[in-house]
Amino acid sequence: MEQNAETVELKKELQPKSTIKLTITSKVEDFQSSMDRAYNRLSQEVEVKGFRKGKAPKNMIVEELGPKLYDEALNQLIWELTNKALVQEKLSPISDPEFSLLSFDPTKPIEFSVQFAVYPEVKIGDLSTIKLDKDEVNKAKEAREKSAQTPNEEKTEDSKEAEVKQNEEKKDETPPFNMDKYYSDILDKVFAISEVDVPEALIERELENHIQNFTEKLNELGIQVDDYLKLQNTTLDESKTHWKKDIEFSFKQDFLLAEYAKQQDIKADKDEVEKSLHEVYTPEQIATLDQGMYNYISYALVRQKAFNDLINRIENN
């Protein structure tokens, strides 16, 4: 592949789990150009005895900088070529890149590889093929209606006594319908007929964050992780397996609902976003919010609307 001023020489390979590997080769002159720019930046802070800062002869400054100059120039070049390659190939990584230096000689083209996850291509199967148990569907609808009818108001003494009495009477009744399991089972059926390939790098990164947060919370309570796990009659490896499964399910759900919303043209308008914000924040607080919060609320609304539409569609099959 011939290069010009705007083209990066590369080889693109599609890896499993929505991962892409780029093998990039620099031009011969790229490293020297990067060295010059790295020198101009680093030399300003170098102090050589007998000279003002940054004013010593170049050979003395280069000797003083040592390997740091090469490392700076190489890292700078790798990131520059990677960014150009991403623009050239119209790629948007959703994970941190993993670099491998394949060949390095300052007088020759430098070759390295970079691997990263990209947003997976989601293919939703034929939802009309999913059939639910009608009794389960009716129970779910009743549970939703009951939840929607529950008033969110301050309770009087009479209402509190009535609630206590109702709870006493319910002790011998059938346990309440498990909506979480109901929805989870439906999503599993959708996943079974769809293609939602979650990048492993995303799962691993989220797992690391979960373990870190888990450890910090226990430490704040003065509890050692090993002691807590023993009390729960489990091990860290068993917990990781469970957490990893939950994390993958969550990512699958997010990716699938995003694709479903796109296909069904489900959006959240400005009034809906404003209404949601006013339910959580005061007008004074809303005035200080940045665009990121508006985007997040819009995303959450679209996700919920897509979820509701998906469930309703499958229930009516």
For the chain, what are the domain ranges?
Answer: 9-117, 127-315
Does the pLDDT at position 75 exceed 90? yes
pLDDT of residue 91: 94
Q: Is 177 in contact with 142 (CB distance < 8 Å)? A: yes
Q: Is 22 in contact with 122 (CB distance < 8 Å)? A: no
Does the pLDDT at position 229 exceed 80? yes
Does the pLDDT at position 279 exceed 50? yes
What fold is seen in the domain 127-315? Trigger factor, domain 2 (1.10.3120)
d(CA 47, CA 157): 78
Percent above pLDDT 90 for the chain: 68
Cα 303 to chain centroid, rounded: 15
Is the model more confident about 91 or about 172?
91
Q: Which two tokens stand for residue 8?
A: 């990066």
Average pLDDT over residues 50-62: 76
pLDDT of residue 149: 72
- Give every strand in the sheet of 19-25, ordered side by side: 9-15, 19-25, 111-117, 98-103
99-12-31-47 Cα dihedral, nearest 10 degrees: -30
pLDDT of residue 3: 44
pLDDT of residue 2: 42
Residue 143 amino acid letter: A
- DSSP, collapsed to helix, strand or coil, labels residue 298 as helix
Average pLDDT over residues 238-252: 96
What fold is seen in the domain 9-117? Alpha-Beta Plaits (3.30.70)
Average pLDDT over residues 218-238: 95
Residue 1's pLDDT band, with cuts at 50, 70 and 90, is very low
Average pLDDT over residues 294-314: 95
What confidence tens digit (pLDDT) does each residue in 153-210 have?
Answer: 555 666 656 666 666 665 556 788 999 999 999 999 999 999 998 999 899 999 999 9
pTM of the predicted structure, to 2 decimals: 0.72
pLDDT of residue 307: 97
